[in-house]
Structure 1
């Protein structure tokens, strides 16, 4: 006991009151470091190596299926970083970019590259600005705001741009679709086939609704290439992302399945689309008084109060001073 007490007193004198705890922690750390080479020197299990090889092969095959060949070679070098490996995520972002009008093979990779590049640029500019303007009273909150803020804005910028562009494109397609249906009905009743009507519509709508004209032109090309009409129309519905076109595709598919007249189906559906357009216009007109009321209150009432009450306030203030 005396020996143990002497050793404890010596350790306490050298390392302080927590000396025994520090010594035990150091010994434990040394033992842990000594175990690392032993663990690393163990031979891997053959079954584990076989399992890892199978997983690697499956992952490579899946990645090869998800990606298409013939893309930009510069972006292809960083495909693992610029393209999701999950099939559902890849399909969702590709559909979103198509709805925004970006249909190229490199659209997904360009989108992720833009997010990455703008985020790095924002971080760099934010760090540069903070290093040049930081004072002695700057806090950690200020540093996070000025450094991470531009990075977050740069990362979210492409997403915001794609979302706004997709909304604008959907609105244009929705506005021009009733006119396209009326024109399609006229062409079909005049004796033209559905393919000829779609091609004619794509030419006539080019000046007023170019995005809708592009969709009809793509449908015409895919039909000429021999793709099934049902699949072509379904693809158009996914690219547009508009409920009216989805309903239109359903009507055409049902008409083709049951053998009913396409002209009759178009006549009924075109009438419904005209009614919907009138209802949308009436809805916007009914919202106008509310919006004008708020605008009037915000920009008219404060100046009016200032004009009416201002002289009285000035007069009362002068009387108080006198």
Structure 2
């Protein structure tokens, strides 16, 4: 099958977009290669000093491809002083990506989602010659839009799933926290203990509790640490707990009694939420019944009469 490139200029769109992506990637690639060369030079100098760094050889034995991808991602990420990095970090943290290279990997994934479909479209151009002239251009634009939107949609879906899991396990956390406080432990020690107990059943909440415990042990103010805990978890119950603990600390009320009342309220809220879902089920089943069950019943009831009228007429 012959492909006349001069007669269909629209098929150059994937080639031009791929060239633009490569041009954008080229400075990052040069910076990455330069940084890798400097890093290897530093590692060689450290090896000459002896066992100053025990795990240097272990780092050198890691996968070359993995190190290259990680370094490329770090070079592609914008600097900390650029606008939007904090929002990207917060979005990635809500989805569970809290490593230092998370932002770089995110931008690298976005570039991959744009470049790889264009390469696939470029390879498939000979098989699209029978389509109208502007079809490859339309497909290329759609692939670029999907590549830009898909990583963000994945992060939003993952963050929503984590919030739902945290909301489902929050009453269990409150019960354990009440039990620890009423057993005589301080609030800070109770946080550490609850984080250890929830490690298997609710690992996401356990990770948040572990971070909160580290902040409290580092000397951060309790109300600030709990507010940060609520912001990281991203659910309404955590914000209410942080506000309640701040008010209890300022007014000097009994912490155990306050936590018990709050825990009972969380349990009641879970019951009400389950009842709400159950009561909304009949309304949600109305449309499926109308569109799928009612036509069948109508056919079964009217078909004998139709047959009888046909025989009579």
Q: Common fold, TM-score beyond 0.5?
A: yes
Aligned with residue 183 of structure 2, among 159, 172, 190? 190
Structure-2-length-normalised TM-score: 0.69
Structure 1 residues 245-256: aligned runs within 5 Å:
245-256=238-249
Shift of 1:173: 0.6
How far apart are 1:105 and its partner, in Å?
A: 0.7
Q: Residue 265 of structure 1: CA displacement?
A: 2.0
Give the alignment partner of residue 281 of structure 1, picking from 251, 274, 280: 274
8 Å Cα contact 2:74-2:101 kept in structure 1: no
Distance (Å, rounded) in 2 between the aligned partners of 1:314 and 1:121: 60
Matched, 1:216 2:191: no
Cα distance, 1:229 vs. partner? 2.4
Aligned match of 2:104 = 109
The alpha carbon displacement at 1:110 in A equals: 1.0
| CA distance in 2: counterparts of 1:268 and 1:217, whole angstroms | 24
1:138 aligns with 2:135: no
For residue 292 of structure 2, the aligned residue among 293, 299, 311 is 299
Point out the structure with max Rg over C-alpha.
1
In structure 2, the CA distance between the partners of 1:91 and 1:183, relative to structure 1 (3 Å rule), is same
Q: Distance in 2 between matches of 1:84 and 1:319?
A: 84
Alignment equivalent of 1:128, drawn from 103, 123, 129? 123
Residue 152 of structure 2 aligns with which residue? 159
Structure 1 CA distance, aligned partners of 2:289 and 2:297?
A: 11
- The change in CA–CA distance for 1:287 and 1:182 in structure 2 (over 3 A counts) is same
- Larger RCO (CA within 8 A; separation ≥ 6): 2
Once residues 243 and 75 of structure 2 are traced to their aligned partners in structure 1, the CA distance between those partners, rounded to angstroms, is 38
Deviations for 1:205-226, whole angstroms, at most 9, x for unmatched residues? 2232221111112212222233
Structure-1-length-normalised TM-score: 0.67
Asked if 1:262 corresponds to 2:255, the answer is yes
Report the secondary structure of 2:84's partner residue.
helix
Match of 2:4 in 1: none
Question: What are the equivalent positions in structure 2 for 1:51-130 lying under 5 Å apart?
Answer: 81-83=76-78, 89-130=84-125
Q: Report the aligned-residue RMSD.
A: 2.9
| Cα deviation 1:127-170 (Å, max 9, x = unaligned) | 433442231x5142x22332222222222111111100000100
